[in-house]
Structure 1
Amino acid sequence: MEDSISKDLTCSICLTIFTDPVSLLCGHSFCRKCITNSLSIKDQCPQCRTTVPKEEKYLPTNHILKSLAEKAKEAEKIKREQGDETTGVAQFLCPEHEEKLKLFCETDQQLACVICRDGERHDGHKFKPTKEAATSRRRELEKGMEHLSDDINAIESLANTQREEITKTHVMSQQLMTQISTQFEEMHQFLRQREEEIKSELKEKKTEAVEEMTETLKVMDLALSERRELQVKMTAALEISDAVKFLQSWTEVNNMLTPECLFRPRANDLQVARTSLSLGPYESHLQFFVWKEMLQVVKPQAELLSLKSYRGDLTVSDDGRSLLCIHFKLRIHIVDESDAREHAFSVNEFSSGQHYWETEVGKGGYWELGVKGHFLKYDGQKYVISNQSSETELTFTDRPRKIGVYLNCSSKELSFYDADKMKHVHTLSSSLMSLPVSAYFNIGPSEDIDPNPLTVCWY
């Protein structure tokens, strides 16, 4: 019966009990909002398809249906609440004995009734009243909530910091993109300018050469014209068979000629002007020369390091660029290894910014390059990264002739490069690196005389 009434009070459009119901002339009823939306699309009753006149679209509320619909909604609400209470009570009853769950088994960590407590399954178990058990667990939960809250705050702080790092990375990337574009544009501008200068020099040389050859050609054309004119007159005279007329013509031609002019070749006085167009080394080694020129405008350049030695058997050249090791046999008196490792450093010190320098290692049998406590070492057989007390062996495809060292003071990172190919070899990070630092160098020990010193590259 109730289901039938609910069905009669249900809108056929939204399939729920009427809200502000209205009735059409055909007798069918709908929610005001539902039928208004329907009629705005099509002027027909959704159920019987009867056309609805425009004047019928403004419909009054069907108060009888509205009252019945409200009562039906209230009845459904009461029914739901009663069902929830019944379900709630059933939830607090022991499913096995249908007794109230007044106890909590500490052993099994579950609710129990008094019959469960006395049963064999819970024999020897420890029980507490539900209120007492709930109180102790509530305290545990509250403590857990405190820790959870602290952890959430910590994670939120970390997440915020991570977001800031992401933002900083985006900003830094954009700055680096701009910096890269700017620096490449400077090189492009230098190359374009140098290209125009070399082309302009070539054009000037071409103009000078062409002008000289053009003047020579004019002289040749004039001489050629004169000789051809003389050739025509001489040919005409030779074609005259009458002696008197020939002699008359001969007299005219003879006045234009001298034996020297007739029998001495004019070509002997002329010489072809050869092209001397040349750009010197720019003709064959243009890229190399322009690259060397560009080094003078590149900023920043590699550091111009000067060396100083703290060991008697390490000799620094007069210009401060090269480090040479005295033969091993001359320093066998050294016993303390720590003394032997007080090697050579740059006069320059670095405490901030980024720095790069290159060193020619030649064919040295032993060398160390980097900063104190952090360096790349070659012992004649293998390459090793030494970082305080740890060492890492590296693999090189070729034996480099020149090593580049890049120091980033802010991140305390030290990178090594095969400077001939500008190929990255290894990067080490060390929070233990204390600033300021100086560039570090060492040669030896080696049992062979090494005529090749370590030499800092200056560009």
Structure 2
Amino acid sequence: MASTNVRNEMICCICLNLYTDPVTLICGHNFCRECIANVLNADYRCPQCRANFGQRPVLQRNITLNNIADHLRSREGSEILCMYCIETSMVASKRCLLCEVSLCDNHVAVHSTSPEHILIEPTISFSKRTCSRHNKTFLYYCTEDAECLCASCMLAEKHHGHQIHLLYVAYRQQKENLKTIQGHAIREEEIEKRIQYLQALLKCITEKAASIVDKVSLQFKDLRMKQDCVESSVLNEIGKKQEQVSMPVINLINQLDIKKDSLSKKLATIQELEQMLDPLLYLQAHKDDLMGVSDQNLNETEASLYEDLYEVLSEDLSEELIGTVNSDIVTIMSDLQKGYCVQEASGITLDVNTAANDVHISDDLTTATWSNVNQCRLENPQRFAILGVLGTSGFSKTRLYWNVEVSKEGGWRVGMAYASISRKGKYSLIGNNKKSWGLRSFNKHYSVKHDQKEIPLACRPSCYKVRIHLDYTAGLLSFYELGDSMMRHLYTYNATFTEALYPVIVVWANAWVKVLN
């Protein structure tokens, strides 16, 4: 009995539990530090004797009470005892929020069963269940403010006209809502099925890509074989032509050698005749050897041989060989174009009806220039509000590229966009939405942007020509920088296009962009 009385003296009158870090007020009453701190936040009065302190009192820690409370708590463990059991200490099984008491099973059975008496699991700390302003238990719930209320809070002006329920009613409604949401939520099995489907799709994409790679490799292997055949054929033809041209030259050389030998013999005979002094013998000697030794006969023979050689050499060997090579190369390129060559889009012009009033369009409809002078064009739903302009024609189911020349100064964006792109505000700019993909240059830096996600590029502008390359079917949109000697790849987007894509340009800060046709 004495033990029970001691324990009752160690109960905080606010939370009705054993003291936790007890403190003493000037009036001599003791409370849990957290409990009395919440009360003093609203009123500088003792909740037990109602003594008015005028100002917030200093809380003095009561070491003796703290030690006794710790001793009782260690002896009782974490068990919360029934507050109605006097003779014997029974463990509480429930706590009533309205009465703020802990009850054992026997006392719960005889406790009021009205809805206001909400029973919860027993707890040591009750401070979180009381209103810090009014020091009253939370019994109600405001659905509009999603806030728990005590009886005083419910009457406050802040919640006037709001839909307010008892805690247990709001609790049950929230539980029902959770069940409804859970019923509509995707189950784990369905998620697993979706994962399996996506994995199968990924495998299919990988296999399809591998198949295309094999096909491309075979086609290029075939093209290399055809190229080797052309090279071999041309080299053989050159050998034949060389032999054809060389034979007359060799024959002419042989004839000249024979003529040379004949002339040598005749010159020797002439020298012998020059040494003869007898006129009769001179005239009768070797007259047969002197026949046909005249200079005119010799010159005519040589002239005939050189004429034959000129006729052979005059055949245009290079033209014939080049014609053969060109014919075979045309065949190879035709095969290549069937699957892989991309055509340049010709005749791209800018649609003035879409141009913003701060963008000047050239007379030939190929150049967009930022202007600080309002162009005063008529309003229409297709016109951009700021900085942009679309091309007149869209592209789908095709492979193509188009080139632009850009200014050294200012800022610009070029790319492709759906015709359904927004025309108002900053979200109409290239890359600031899901319906456009663009390359951006500003302050000598490149970046690409789509769906408001901007990716800075490591490379800096090195020239002032850009290529936009579209493979609609494959879902590829690439950007290149066109130098004088080479083309540098900047970035490639991989997407699934669902509408025709139109060229789109954005310019600001004295920038300009010209479409090169």
Q: Calculate the TM-score normalised by the size of structure 1.
A: 0.50
**Normalized against structure 2, the TM-score is what?**
0.45
Compare relative contact order (CA 8 Å, sep 6+) and give the higher one, 1 or 2: 1
